[in-house]
Chain A
Amino acid sequence: GENVEQHPSTLSVQEGDSAVIKCTYSDSASNYFPWYKQELGKRPQLIIDIRSNVGEKKDQRIAVTLNKTAKHFSLHITETQPEDSAVYFCAATTDDRGSTLGRLYFGRGTQLTVWP
């Protein structure tokens, strides 16, 4: 099955700096890569996603890049703010028909702390 690895496990940055979280995946059939943000005591919430036919996607201060050849994707947060402090999870799945349809594989998470 799919294996998603996420690094780093913890990340501390100064307010205003950029933060980058990286994930790798193993199954070349994966074609949908969401990122979730989980604030302390809250449920995970989707913040951005990317499909394998796209190399980069941006939404204001956050962006995700995908390198299909190398099987890795990254989350970039610019101009970080204290409210960006949370645990971030990457994930991978396929929405094509196949045996792994319905499976969503998560990385282990990155605790991002933004210091004022």
Chain B
Amino acid sequence: EAQVTQNPRYLITVTGKKLTVTCSQNMNHEYMSWYRQDPGLGLRQIYYSMNVEVTDKGDVPEGYKVSRKEKRNFPLILESPSPNQTSLYFCASSPHLAGAGKTQYFGPGTRLLVL
């Protein structure tokens, strides 16, 4: 089954404790992206990747890191989480090198609470 998976789905952590949210897709998509969703603010792009070893900043990259060592995986790293990073995070992938200009398939979301 074609899908985008994220782990963990729910996470409670404390300020400053490094964490990684994994994202994996089995559709051989070139393009992958991370978004955060906050009430009243919609979806905001954190980072995206056009292909392996190619990543770039979105609207709100501060406090996040990403890597794209393999085509299928695009982990989101919070080196020192802070309470303002409490949010719902979505990973998405798309089958085309034309950036975000194709249908994006979203993962199920990761709800993060930073105390």
Is there an interface contact between B99 and A44, defined as CB atoms closer than 8 Å?
no
Q: Which residues of A from 39 to 95 have beta carbons under 8 Å from B? A: 43-46, 49, 89, 91, 93-95
**How many residue pairs, one in A and one in B, have C-beta atoms under 8 Å apart?**
69
Interface size of B in residues (CB-CB distance below 8 Å): 27
Is there an interface contact between B103 and A103, defined as CB atoms closer than 8 Å?
no
A107, B43: Cα distance in complex, Å: 8
Is there an interface contact between B106 and A43, defined as CB atoms closer than 8 Å?
yes
Interface size of A in residues (CB-CB distance below 8 Å): 25
Taking the closest CB of chain B, its distance from the CB of A5, in whole angstroms, is: 11
Is there an interface contact between A49 and B41, defined as CB atoms closer than 8 Å?
no
Question: Which B residues are CB-close (under 8 A) to A6?
Answer: 42
Taking the closest CB of chain A, its distance from the CB of B108, in whole angstroms, is: 6
Question: Which A residues are CB-close (under 8 A) to B101?
Answer: 31-32, 93-95, 101
In the complex with contacts A93-B100, A93-B101, A104-B33, A45-B106 CB distance below 8 A: yes
Taking the closest CB of chain A, its distance from the CB of B21, in whole angstroms, is: 15
